[in-house]
């Protein structure tokens, strides 16, 4: 059935918000809420819709951007953020062998010949990039958002297996080497046993433990975590070797840990043999894996194939199917999410799955419980999708006790006892008491303080403590906190209090579009908040907007328009906005926020490559000078702004279409 354009726009907006939320939970919070497979389904659906409706493509879409592990709420002693010299991209992935055949066919078609592939296990850890200069370790960066990462050099120095310098007679002295920081299963078990003994929460899996350990503020603690590293890719401007495997052999001789479980494959049959062997063989390893990475081995072929905005075209990842186990359902709890969504969580008899003990699993929503026809005491099949989050995928009804009863989904909120509601187009029940439900209130504060919103130095533990002490109930209360209030809180010292108050003061200069996003209006993400701010200019104009006014704004559909109208219809929301306004928060745009000139009015511009400033900054400059950003070159493109290391495909297409190509200097000269 063909989807209508308006429905497609709403679905695209919904998918982008969902994927951004899951990226934050996976990369920043280390608390993923869906499996890799479910995440990939969302990405594939969004890609299909964006392809079918190119008018709705966006530079900020998660199909173009990679996820980010940069914390939205930096700790009191945050890591320094440093740009990557070369972007750290993601990999395309598949769960099906026919797609590997298609991948090979595309490669051979572009190259006009067959090629060898280097296959290696995909380690389930946290990505790292080490820079060596003159043969000595200069810096270690996390992947971050692919363009900027956290500097974790001091913590990396605590991992014994990582070379601090390489042999002086090495043929390459200046390079980046990329790999995965991981926690072996035995280290993971010891760490969780120690945490359980002192009553600390356990890590869900080694990937979360490795990521969390790498971000410890006290680097001396890293030594005790038992982290290790495996490296798989070298980035250098030297041309000493012709193949990926030769570069890895060189890295091994320099002292870097490499996976022993690799294979140079000369055809598809050899690739499939490797996949089949490790699908079961990985269970014998002392580290977690979730698939196999398949790379074109020849470096010149890699250059010829190039990159998309998010993936290298010369590599892909094959993901193993998730493992499953059979265990008994004991009971069901119901959790309240930040937006009020109620999620059922199953309590299970402990069962070992993918190397860790599983006691809880997601049931998603009431509809899924009905589809499963689940009963208390049932034997259920549990799957760790993508080896991360357990979920119940089926019931073994043949062993059901005939007296067993189905769990009853609650009619009231388990947190505040408000009557739950369910909209027709929603799968989940929601608690409507967003201004009195403790979980939702604290979630609203976390969103307000996040880096992409007001950038206030307050994480989950801080917000929880402030709420328990009665310091905060509505957003404006944050700006009424005193230093004495903060010093009364557990663990707070003078410097921490000063830094928090400084971040509060600094947040008063946050642009209107970010303030609008920070309010947490349901369904309104970063892009839609910016579009609304540009269209209306002030909170007063937005408050008085009609539904037709709202629908005339780019990217705003029926659901979002209704949500905005509902938000401003509530007196409690208007009261908070007025208090925030009186406290100095910006609720109107000025030229520095959204508009400087109309020099680029009517122009569509593509930005590609590396620049002296971030690509986001150049895109912001385009927007405030009246231009429109695009991710791909087409007949509608006015300019291609070309930086260093730009992929050849965009440049070739621009040349064919006669699109004007500007250097960074030429672009800035144009707008001066």
299-350 pLDDT per residue, tens: 999 999 988 777 899 999 998 877 778 999 999 999 888 788 898 999 999 9
Residues paired with 412 in a beta bridge: 419
User: Nearest to residue 376, comparing CAs of 336, 331, 335, 414?
Assistant: 331
Q: Which residues contact 607 (CB under 8 A, 6 or more apart)?
A: 615, 618, 619, 622, 629, 641, 643
**Residue 550 near residue 560 (C-beta atoms within 8 A):** yes
pLDDT tops 90 at residue 282: no
pLDDT tops 90 at residue 610: no
Task: State mean pLDDT over 518-528.
Answer: 87
pLDDT tops 50 at residue 387: no
- List the single range of 207-211, 223-227, 668-672 with lowest mean pLDDT: 668-672
Fold of the domain built from segment(s) 595-671: Rossmann fold (3.40.50)
Per CATH, 5-56 and 324-399 having the same topology is answered no
CA 17 remoteness from chain centre: 11
- What per-residue confidence (pLDDT) applies to 73? 37
User: Nearest to residue 225, comparing CAs of 182, 281, 274?
Assistant: 182
- What per-residue confidence (pLDDT) applies to 602? 79
Task: State mean pLDDT over 246-271.
Answer: 94
Task: State mean pLDDT over 534-549.
Answer: 90
- What per-residue confidence (pLDDT) applies to 264? 96
CA 126 remoteness from chain centre: 13
Task: State mean pLDDT over 449-462.
Answer: 89
pLDDT tops 90 at residue 177: yes
- What per-residue confidence (pLDDT) applies to 229? 93
pLDDT tops 70 at residue 537: yes
Written as one string, the DSSP assignment of 537-557 is -BHHHHHT--HHHHHTSTT--
- What per-residue confidence (pLDDT) applies to 603? 85
Task: Tell me the percentage of the chain whose pLDDT exceeds 90.
Answer: 40
pLDDT tops 80 at residue 473: yes
Dist. CA 132–CA 45, nearest whole Å? 40
pLDDT tops 90 at residue 636: no
Dist. CA 140–CA 151, nearest whole Å? 6
In this predicted model, what pLDDT tens digit does every residue of 31-47 receive, in sequence order?
666 766 677 778 878 88
Q: Is the dihedral of CA 343, 349, 352, 357 positive or negative?
A: positive
User: Nearest to residue 636, comparing CAs of 671, 601, 602?
Assistant: 602
Measured at the CA of 313, the angle between CA 385 and CA 14, to 5 degrees, comes to 50
How many Cα neighbours within 13 Å face the side chain of 13? Answer: 23
**Strand (E) positions, 24-106?**
81-83, 93-94
Dist. CA 146–CA 128, nearest whole Å? 11
Give the pLDDT band (50/70/90) at residue 172: very high
Q: Which residues contact 72 (CB under 8 A, 6 or more apart)?
A: 24, 28, 450, 451, 452
- What per-residue confidence (pLDDT) applies to 74? 36
- What per-residue confidence (pLDDT) applies to 230? 94
- What per-residue confidence (pLDDT) applies to 200? 65
- What per-residue confidence (pLDDT) applies to 338? 75
> What's phi and psi for 460, nearest 5 deg?
-60, -45
Fold of the domain built from segment(s) 438-591: DNA polymerase; domain 1 (1.10.150)
Dist. CA 234–CA 171, nearest whole Å? 14
pLDDT tops 80 at residue 552: yes
Mean pLDDT for the chain overall: 85
Give the pLDDT band (50/70/90) at residue 463: very high
DSSP assigned state of 350 = E
Label residue 634 exposed, middle or buried (CB < 10 Å: 0-12, 13-18, 19+).
middle
Question: Which tops the pLDDT comparison, 671 or 454?
Answer: 454
pLDDT tops 80 at residue 566: yes
- What per-residue confidence (pLDDT) applies to 201? 66
Task: Tell me the percentage of the chain whose pLDDT exceeds 70.
Answer: 91
- What per-residue confidence (pLDDT) applies to 459? 85
- What per-residue confidence (pLDDT) applies to 27? 58
Label residue 426 exposed, middle or buried (CB < 10 Å: 0-12, 13-18, 19+).
exposed
Q: Is 360 helix (H, G, I), strand (E, B) or coil?
A: strand
Residues paired with 182 in a beta bridge: 228
pLDDT tops 50 at residue 173: yes
CATH tag, 324-399: 2.40.50.140
- What per-residue confidence (pLDDT) applies to 546? 92
Dist. CA 634–CA 451, nearest whole Å? 34
Give the pLDDT band (50/70/90) at residue 651: confident
| Mode of pairing for the β-strands spanning 136-142 and 126-133 | antiparallel
Q: Which residues contact 67 (CB under 8 A, 6 or more apart)?
A: 23, 26, 27, 90, 145
Label residue 167 exposed, middle or buried (CB < 10 Å: 0-12, 13-18, 19+).
exposed
**Assigned CATH class of 5-56:** mainly alpha
- List the single range of 77-86, 177-186, 534-543, 577-586 with lowest mean pLDDT: 77-86
**b/e 226-242 (16+ beta carbons within 10 angstroms → b):** bbbbbbbbbebeeeebe
Positions marked active-site: 122
- What per-residue confidence (pLDDT) applies to 72? 39
- What per-residue confidence (pLDDT) applies to 451? 82
pLDDT tops 60 at residue 592: no
- What per-residue confidence (pLDDT) applies to 332? 94
- What per-residue confidence (pLDDT) applies to 488? 93
Longest C-alpha distance within the chain, in Å? 78
**Residue 299 near residue 244 (C-beta atoms within 8 A):** yes
Domain boundaries, the chain: 5-56, 81-319, 324-399, 438-591, 595-671
Give the pLDDT band (50/70/90) at residue 405: very high
Architecture of domain 81-319: 2-Layer Sandwich (3.30)
DSSP assigned state of 427 = S
pLDDT tops 50 at residue 76: no
Q: Is the dihedral of CA 572, 578, 581, 586 positive or negative?
A: positive
pLDDT tops 70 at residue 65: no
């Amino acid at each position: 059935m063909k989807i209508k354009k308006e429905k497609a726009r709403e679905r695209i907006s919904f998918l982008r918000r969902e994927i951004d939320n899951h990226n934050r939970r996976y990369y920043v919070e280390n608390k993923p809420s869906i499996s890799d497979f479910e995440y990939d389904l969302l990405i594939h659906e969004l890609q299909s819709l964006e392809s079918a409706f190119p008018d709705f493509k966006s530079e900020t879409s998660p199909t173009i951007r990679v996820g980010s592990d940069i914390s939205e709420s930096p700790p009191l002693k945050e890591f320094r953020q440093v740009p990557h010299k070369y972007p750290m991209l993601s990999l395309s992935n598949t769960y099906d062998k026919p797609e590997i055949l298609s991948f090979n066919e595309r490669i051979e078609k572009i190259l006009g010949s067959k090629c060898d592939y280097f296959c290696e296990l995909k380690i389930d850890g946290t990505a790292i990039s080490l820079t060596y200069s003159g043969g000595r370790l200069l810096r270690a960066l996390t992947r971050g958002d692919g363009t900027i990462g956290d500097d974790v050099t001091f913590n990396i120095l605590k991992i014994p297996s990582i070379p601090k310098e390489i042999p002086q007679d090495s043929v390459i002295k200046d390079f980046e080497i990329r790999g995965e920081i991981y926690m072996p299963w035995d280290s993971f078990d010891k760490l969780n046993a120690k945490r359980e003994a002192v009553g600390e929460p356990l890590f869900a899996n080694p990937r979360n433990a490795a990521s969390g350990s790498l971000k410890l503020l006290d680097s001396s603690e890293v030594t005790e975590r038992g982290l290790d590293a495996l490296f798989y890719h070298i980035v250098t401007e030297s041309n000493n070797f012709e193949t990926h495997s030769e570069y890895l052999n060189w890295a091994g001789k320099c002292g870097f840990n490499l996976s022993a479980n690799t294979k140079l494959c000369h055809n598809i049959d050899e690739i499939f043999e490797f996949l089949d062997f490790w699908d079961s063989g990985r269970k014998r390893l002392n580290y977690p894996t979730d698939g196999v990475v398949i790379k074109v081995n020849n470096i010149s072929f890699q250059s010829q194939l190039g990159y998309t905005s998010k993936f290298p075209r010369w590599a892909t990842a094959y993901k193993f199917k998730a493992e499953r186990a059979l265990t008994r359902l004991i009971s069901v709890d119901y959790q309240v999410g930040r937006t009020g969504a109620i999620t059922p969580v199953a309590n299970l008899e402990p069962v070992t799955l993918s190397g860790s003990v599983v006691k809880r699993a997601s049931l998603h929503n009431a509809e899924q419980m009905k589809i499963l026809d689940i009963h208390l005491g049932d034997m259920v099949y549990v799957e760790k999708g993508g080896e991360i989050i357990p979920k119940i995928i089926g019931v073994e009804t043949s062993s059901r006790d005939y007296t067993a009863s189905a769990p009853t989904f609650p009619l009231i909120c388990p947190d505040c006892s408000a009557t739950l509601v369910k909209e027709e187009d929603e799968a989940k029940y929601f608690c409507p008491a967003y201004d009195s439900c403790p979980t939702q209130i604290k979630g609203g504060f976390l969103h307000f303080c996040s880096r992409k919103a007001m950038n206030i130095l307050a994480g989950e533990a801080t917000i929880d403590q402030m709420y328990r002490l009665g310091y905060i109930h509505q957003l404006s209360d944050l700006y009424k906190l005193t230093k004495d209030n903060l010093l009364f809180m557990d663990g707070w010292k003078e410097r921490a209090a000063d830094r928090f108050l400084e971040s509060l003061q600094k947040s008063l200069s946050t642009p209107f579009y970010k303030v609008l996003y920070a309010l947490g209006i349901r369904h309104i993400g970063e892009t839609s908040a910016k579009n609304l701010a540009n269209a209306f200019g002030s909170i007063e104009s937005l408050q008085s907007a009609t539904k037709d006014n709202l629908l005339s704004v780019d990217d705003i559909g029926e659901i979002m328009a209704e949500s905005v109208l509902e938000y401003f219809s509530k007196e409690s929301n208007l009261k908070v906005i007025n208090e925030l306004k009186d406290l100095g928060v910006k609720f109107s745009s000025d030229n520095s926020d959204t508009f400087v000139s109309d020099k680029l009015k009517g122009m569509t511009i593509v930005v590609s490559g590396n620049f002296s400033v971030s690509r986001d900054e150049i895109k912001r400059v385009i927007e405030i000078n009246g231009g429109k950003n695009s991710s791909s070159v087409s007949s509608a493109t006015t300019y291609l702004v070309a930086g260093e290391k730009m992929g050849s495909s965009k440049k070739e297409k621009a040349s064919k279409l006669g699109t004007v190509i500007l250097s960074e200097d030429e672009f800035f000269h144009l707008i001066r």
